[in-house]
Amino acid sequence: MSTVDTLAKDFLSQKRIAVAGVSRSGEDAANLIYRRLKSTGHQVFPVNPNTEAFEGDPCYPDLKSIPGGVDGVVIVTRPEVTDQIVRQCIEVGVSKVWMHQSMMMAGTSVSEKAVAYCHENDISVIAGACPLMFGETADFGHKCMKFVLRVAGRMPK
- In angstroms, the CA 88 to CA 66 distance is 12
Contact 75, 44 (CB under 8 A): no
Spell out the domains of the chain, with CATH numbers in brackets: 3-151 (3.40.50.720)
Question: Which pLDDT value is given to residue 40?
Answer: 93
Which of 24-33, 59-68, 131-140 has the least mean pLDDT?
131-140
Note the pLDDT tens digit of each residue in 92-110: 999 999 999 876 555 788 9
Q: Classify residue 64 by its DSSP letter.
A: G
Determine the Cα–Cα distance for residues 38 and 40; give it in Å rounded to an integer.
5
The pLDDT of 4-23, averaged and rounded, is 94
pLDDT of residue 102: 75
pTM: 0.90
Give whole-number Cα distances, 109 to 1, 102, 143, in Å: 25, 9, 21
